[in-house]
Structure 1
């Protein structure tokens, strides 16, 4: 342990000096105001068209129902709309506005929409060249000449990576709340959010639906996002160990994440796709009651699948790193 702590400090400082995290913060500072402005324009348009949120929700339900009667809409899209109609009707019956414009609601929406692509790309900015980058610069050779076991070196990198993944999620949530709150207000922490919808085909079972305050919902959401991004980080670490080229390592992981996002929207009829890590990343959808990418998938299934992927990636990383010839 005495030797591990200095290694962790060293790895944390190395990532910090690369200034990748500064780039992540800069990206957030540029994109969040743009999304906030877009949300503000949507809220203004809705205020002009509808006298209150109930009329807006009723209009949305009518639009979905009209789409269901159209032959031009694919059956898969109709399934999503049938589910959305039932959920919106549930909010309407319980007199809860599902789209209240405030800083907390914006933060919840931003984090939910970022889990499958935006957050993974931010994580890859930190993780994708953790080992391959040091091979390119030659610093890994200097590190391995020290009287420290290799598994401790890789463990220190993993712990440092865990710290930065956590920091990315926390920083994005704080920046969202501060920037959006300046426009929409900083309230909304106690607003009730319904969770517990059970999806079966095109039917929504509301037996276990219950309301939780929005602050608790965001905590649950952030926990699922953190777990999903740690799986992405573990796989990125494995790719960085297996592939010597920094550019190849980055491109490989970016291709896997982007292809997985596309596949998640197209894989409803391919049952075996549910075992891919990228199809299971969006676990926040289970909280919101969104239909899973493939029928039959549950939160427990996605957690178990991602756990297997992360464990396998870490086992491969530590096994290969401790045995491969890096010095030559």
Structure 2
């Protein structure tokens, strides 16, 4: 055991000396910092556009332009003038609405929430059973609204929720788990073996009394711990920056998880269309903060499979540059293929399709594929891929003629 620990320590020293660990860590921190700043700018832009004073000024400017055209354009027909007059009347009504006291959307209103739930249930009852898509969406909304009513959380239907630290974390993990995080893992893992093979130092390493299997496993453990550590630090920095920018507000907002979707054919805009409908009967609801923290943990779990893919390419190809390129191409092409032909059930078994474990948890992956996909199945698929790739790499490494 002490010998194995010394090999792992030696691998960490080599990893730090190559500066790849620090470079990838710095790159990730820079990227999430840019993301946090972009979210801050977007939030300010949304806040500015939602300001009643700004909206009134914009509407007033449009009214003035229409009135000017109405008074100066001699080529207008009677129908044109009537149309412009109607538009001016409608805009003036919008100004009157903005002049009315605006409701405080941050205050819980049980009566309004209950009325919203009743209205949604009436809409569901009035729909024909073949409207599965609309019914599923409304049923999902009813459960979210019921959660806000039971837990006294303010929530308004048909309003875009404000950007919070928790929503920004979720958005990054939705996108980042497909490309950003896997590519960072590949940069760390894809030359752990091939780098020493192309440099010739692997021969010196194999002169140790330790077996090839033990040496390879030490490299693998170093790769996994380094990748998980880097991603954990990056996501911790992201969370800290977003909480600093936005504060902890919105932590109790409801998030639906375990939603399952199935494929349906409905008449949409006059034509039969293949789409997906939600089945809210199996869903659970968690708070935004609970979801974000658990989504980070799930992403770290997926990181093990991500770095295993890079490590396997490092064993498979002797050249460090080529192994890195192969791993990057596998992730990019795999992600593209999954999105292009996501309706095929066998696509759920692709390793890249399951990197986004938070998406599997919410049901977004099920919605993309058009059939039920569970978090448990995604974790099992990643586990199988991890075991198979390491097992295949272990066999190749033990049988390869490296010293010759």
Shorter-chain TM range is 0.7 to 0.9
- TM-score norm. by structure 1 comes to 0.82
Deviations 1:29-80 (A, max 9, x none): 32223222221232223223447779xxxxxxxxxxxxxxxxxxxxxxxx99
Is 1:114 aligned to 2:176, yes or no?
A: yes
Matched, 1:239 2:239: no
CA distance in 1, matches of 2:338, 2:144: 27
Shift of 1:200: 2.4
Cα distance change of structure 1 residues 305 and 80 upon mapping to structure 2, 3 Å threshold: farther
1:75 corresponds in structure 2 to none
Partner of residue 279, structure 2? 205
Shift of 1:222: 2.4
Is residue 298 from structure 1 mapped to residue 360 from structure 2 by the alignment?
Answer: no
Q: Secondary structure at the match of 2:360?
A: helix
Q: Does the Cα contact within 8 Å between 2:255 and 2:287 map onto a contact in 1?
A: yes
SS at the partner of 1:207?
A: helix
Shift of 1:153: 0.3
- In the TM superposition, what are the counterparts of 1:83-94 in structure 2 within 5 Å? 87=140, 91=144, 94=148
* Deviation at residue 139 of structure 1 after TM alignment: 1.4
**How far 1:214 moved relative to its partner?**
3.6
1:160 Cα deviation (Å)? 0.8
Aligned to 1:132: 194
Indicate conservation of the 8 Å contact 1:151/1:318, yes or no. yes
Moved more, 248-257 or 279-288: 279-288
Alignment gaps of 5+ in structure 2: 52-103, 107-131, 149-153, 264-275
**Aligned residues of 2:308 and 2:390 also touching (Cα < 8 A):** yes
Provide the residue aligned with 2:334 in structure 1: 260
Instruction: Report the alpha carbon displacement of residue 26 of structure 1 after superposing the two structures with TM.
Output: 1.9
* Structure 1 residue 217: Cα displacement: 1.9
Q: Which residues in structure 2 correspond to 1:1-328 (within 5 Å)?
A: 1-50=1-50, 87=140, 91=144, 94=148, 95-96=154-155, 99-201=161-263, 202-292=276-366, 293-299=368-374, 300-328=376-404
**Mapped partners of 2:9, 2:39: distance in 1:** 40
Larger Rg: 2
Relative to structure 1, the CA distance from residue 171 to residue 262 in structure 2 (aligned partners, 3 Å threshold; closer, same or farther) is same
CA distance in 1, matches of 2:134, 2:402: 54
The one-character-per-residue Cα deviations of 1:123-155 (angstroms, maximum 9, x if unpaired) are 011100110000122211111011111111011
CA contact (8 A) 1:263 1:279 kept: no
CA distance 1:197–1:81, change in 2 (3 Å): same
Residue 209 (structure 1) shift: 3.0
Q: Which runs of 5+ in 1 are unaligned?
A: 55-78
Compared CA separation, residues 162 and 187, structure 1 to 2 (3 A): farther
- Partner SS state of residue 203, structure 1: strand
Higher relative contact order (CA 8 A, sep 6+): 1
Structure 2 SS opposite 1:3: helix
1:155-184 Cα deviation digits (max 9, x unpaired): 111111111121122112211022222221
